[in-house]
């Protein structure tokens, strides 16, 4: 038995000695990835409901508390977008892994630091797409995103994430107003305030579909510079531009 053991040890030593630097690197890298995934899963289990195996609204509340961000903060919506979460208020293990690996985080402290960077990524991607002055402030920053479609992807996701019922294709006006304020309010404060005011008083549309939601972004981009014209802002904008945006994007189900 001892002789057999010595032979095995000799083979192991020989294999180790014959390993190339590339082999050793791959082995170390594989172990590091395995450890990272283990930490990500452990973090998931600390928030997940044991019966459902998912992070539910209560778990998300606890997560928000730990990263010191309100559950209504846009950064939580951006986190869900990074995970590609399908059900509002719930994260599966697969979604959790996808999001945290994308952000390169495996602890709460790292996630807390990553959320402001994620917000900058989305804001900068908007600037790259539409050429707003914001990009000039950070044009030399490593945070500048090379993929302009990032913002449009996030903007579309925000609408889909709010479709909580099966086969649902539209969202009620009240919820749309809240979503507009959350997603576009920081870029177009005055314009969004006026748009929300109009949507609340108009009676032609009770719900908004995806085409119309996309039209709101186009509307903001096309009309932001006209805000200096108070006549346009207070009189023409609600009666003309918004109506054209709604009707040209397709009627929603009333």
Classify residue 157: in a domain, yes or no: yes
Claim to verify: residue 52 and residue 71 sit in the same structural domain: yes
Claim to verify: residue 176 and residue 153 sit in the same structural domain: no
Classify residue 8: in a domain, yes or no: no
Claim to verify: residue 35 and residue 86 sit in the same structural domain: yes
Claim to verify: residue 126 and residue 185 sit in the same structural domain: no
For residue 27, the model assigns a pLDDT of 57
Classify residue 140: in a domain, yes or no: yes
Classify residue 45: in a domain, yes or no: yes
Pick the more confident residue, 218 or 97. 97
Answer for the pair 192, 185: CB distance below 8 angstroms, yes or no.
yes
Q: Across the chain, what does the average pLDDT equal?
A: 79
Classify residue 194: in a domain, yes or no: yes
Classify residue 86: in a domain, yes or no: yes
Pick the more confident residue, 183 or 145. 183
pTM over 0.85, yes/no: no
Answer for the pair 249, 208: CB distance below 8 angstroms, yes or no.
no
For residue 48, the model assigns a pLDDT of 97
Q: Is the pLDDT of residue 200 over 70?
A: yes
Pick the more confident residue, 29 or 217. 217
Lowest mean pLDDT segment, chosen from 3-12, 43-52, 119-128, 134-143 = 134-143
Claim to verify: residue 49 and residue 126 sit in the same structural domain: yes
Query: SS3 sequence, the chain?
Result: CHHHHHHHHHHHHHHHHHCCHHHHHHHHHHHHHHHHHHHHHHHHHHHCECCCCEECHHHHHHHHHHHCCCCCCHHHHHHHHHHCCCCCCCECHHHHHHHHHHHCCCCHHHHHHHHHHHHHHHHHHHHHHHCCCHHHHCCCCCCCCCCCHHHHHHHHHHHHHCCCCCCCCEEEHHHHHHHHHHHHCCCCHHHHHHHHHHHHHCCCCCEEEHHHHHHHHHHHHHHHHHHHCHHHHHHHHHHHHHHHHHHHCCCCCC
117-152 pLDDT, tens digit per residue, is 999 988 888 766 665 544 333 333 333 333 447 889
Claim to verify: residue 72 and residue 102 sit in the same structural domain: yes
Give the domain CATH number at 48: 1.10.238.10
User: Where is the domain boundary, 106, 141, 161?
Assistant: 161
For residue 123, the model assigns a pLDDT of 83
Q: Is the pLDDT of residue 159 over 60?
A: yes
Q: Is the pLDDT of residue 42 over 90?
A: yes
60-117 pLDDT, tens digit per residue, is 999 999 999 999 999 999 999 999 999 999 999 999 999 999 999 999 999 999 999 9
For residue 30, what pLDDT band results from cuts at 50, 70 and 90? low
Claim to verify: residue 174 and residue 152 sit in the same structural domain: no
Claim to verify: residue 55 and residue 94 sit in the same structural domain: yes
The parent domain of residue 198 ranges over: 170-248
Mean pLDDT over residues 162-175, rounded? Answer: 94
Classify residue 3: in a domain, yes or no: no
Claim to verify: residue 131 and residue 243 sit in the same structural domain: no
Claim to verify: residue 153 and residue 176 sit in the same structural domain: no
For residue 230, the model assigns a pLDDT of 40
Claim to verify: residue 153 and residue 43 sit in the same structural domain: yes
Measured CA to CA, the distance from residue 151 to residue 120 in angstroms comes to: 11
Q: How many domains does the chain have?
A: 2
Pick the more confident residue, 92 or 6. 92
Measured CA to CA, the distance from residue 91 to residue 97 in angstroms comes to: 10
Classify residue 218: in a domain, yes or no: yes
Q: Is the pLDDT of residue 232 over 60?
A: no
Pick the more confident residue, 91 or 12. 91
Q: Is the pLDDT of residue 204 over 80?
A: yes
Claim to verify: residue 35 and residue 140 sit in the same structural domain: yes
User: Where is the domain boundary, 141, 161, 181?
Assistant: 161
Q: Is the pLDDT of residue 7 over 70?
A: no
Q: Which residue has the tokens 């977008």?
A: 81
User: Where is the domain boundary, 120, 144, 161?
Assistant: 161
Q: Is the pLDDT of residue 158 over 90?
A: yes
């Amino acid at each position: 038995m001892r002789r057999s053991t010595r032979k095995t040890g000799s083979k192991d030593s020989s294999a180790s000695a014959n390993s190339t630097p590339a082999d050793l690197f791959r082995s170390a890298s594989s172990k590091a990835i395995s450890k990272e995934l283990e930490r990500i899963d452990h973090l998931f289990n600390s928030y997940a409901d044991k019966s459902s195996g998912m992070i539910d609204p209560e778990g998300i509340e606890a997560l928000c508390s730990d990263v010191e961000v309100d559950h209504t903060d846009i950064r939580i919506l951006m986190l869900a977008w990074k995970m590609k979460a399908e059900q509002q208020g719930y994260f599966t293990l697969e979604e959790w892994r996808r999001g945290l690996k994308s952000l390169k985080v495996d602890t709460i402290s790292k996630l807390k630091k990553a959320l402001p960077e994620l917000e900058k990524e989305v804001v900068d991607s908007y600037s790259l797409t539409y050429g707003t002055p914001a990009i000039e402030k950070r044009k030399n920053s490593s945070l500048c995103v090379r993929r302009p479609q990032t913002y449009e992807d996030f903007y579309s996701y925000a609408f889909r994430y709010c479709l909580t019922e099966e086969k649902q294709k539209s969202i009620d006006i009240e919820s749309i107003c809240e979503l507009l304020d959350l997603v576009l309010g920081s870029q177009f404060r005055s314009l969004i305030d006026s748009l929300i005011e109009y949507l609340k008083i108009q009676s032609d549309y009770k719900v908004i579909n995806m085409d119309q939601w996309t039209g709101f972004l186009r509307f903001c981009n096309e009309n932001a510079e006209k805000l200096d014209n108070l006549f346009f802002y207070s009189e023409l904008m609600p009666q003309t531009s918004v109506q054209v945006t709604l009707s040209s994007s397709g009627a929603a189900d009333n």
